[in-house]
Amino acid sequence: NAGVTQTPKFRVLKTGQSMTLLCAQDMNHEYMYWYRQDPGMGLRLIHYSVGEGTTAKGEVPDGYNVSRLKKQNFLLGLESAAPSQTSVYFCASRRGDSGQETQYFGPGTRLLVL
C-alpha cells in the first residue's frame, strides 16, 4: 500500500493563479482532511470530508475549495492564489468506524505564492 500520496510535492505560483492539489489514499478510508502548516502555528484544518460526495469547512476555509468525487481522492483548489496561502499543505485520512481515530498523513505539498 502506498498509503496517502500528494501531488505535486512543490509548486510556485504567481498571485492570482489557480491550482489544484491532489490527495489520494489506497486504504479505503471514509474520512479525508486538508491541513496547512505554518511556522509556529501547528496544523490548521482547511476542509474535510466524511465520505464520498461530502465536504465541510474547517478552521481556515477561506480562499480554498474542495471536492470528493471519488472515495480515494480529495482535491484542494485555490481559485486565485494569494501570498498568504504560501504554506505546506498536508492531507490525511482515517477509517470511518469508531475506535479507529488515527489519521494517516501524506508527505505534504510545499506551495510558494509570489
Partner 1 sequence: AQSVTQLDSQVPVFEEAPVELRCNYSSSVSVYLFWYVQYPNQGLQLLLKYLSGSTLVESINGFEAEFNKSQTSFHLRKPSVHISDTAEYFCAVSGMDSSYKLIFGSGTRLLVRP
- At its nearest, how many Å lie between partner 1 and the CB of residue 45? 6
Q: Of residues 1, 2, 14, 42, which one binds partner 1 by CB under 8 A?
A: 42
Q: How many residues are present in the chain?
A: 114
Decide whether 14 or 39 has the Cβ nearer to partner 1: 39
DSSP state of 85: G
Give the SS3 label for residue 19. strand
Q: How many residues bind partner 1 (CB under 8 A)?
A: 26
User: Which residue shows C-alpha cell 492570482?
Assistant: 16
Q: How far is the CB of 15 from partner 1 (least distance, A)?
A: 26
Cα distance between residue 113 and residue 96, in whole Å: 35
Print the binding letters for residues 57-76 with partner 1: x by CB under 8 A, - otherwise.
-x------------------
Q: Phi and psi dihedrals of 85, rounded to 5?
A: -95, 5
Q: Check binding of 112 to partner 1 (CB under 8 A).
A: no
Closest CA to 4 of 32, 20, 25, 19: 25
Q: Which residues in this chain contact partner 1 in the complex, by CB under 8 A?
A: 4, 31, 33, 35, 40-45, 48, 50, 56, 58, 90, 92, 94, 99, 101-108
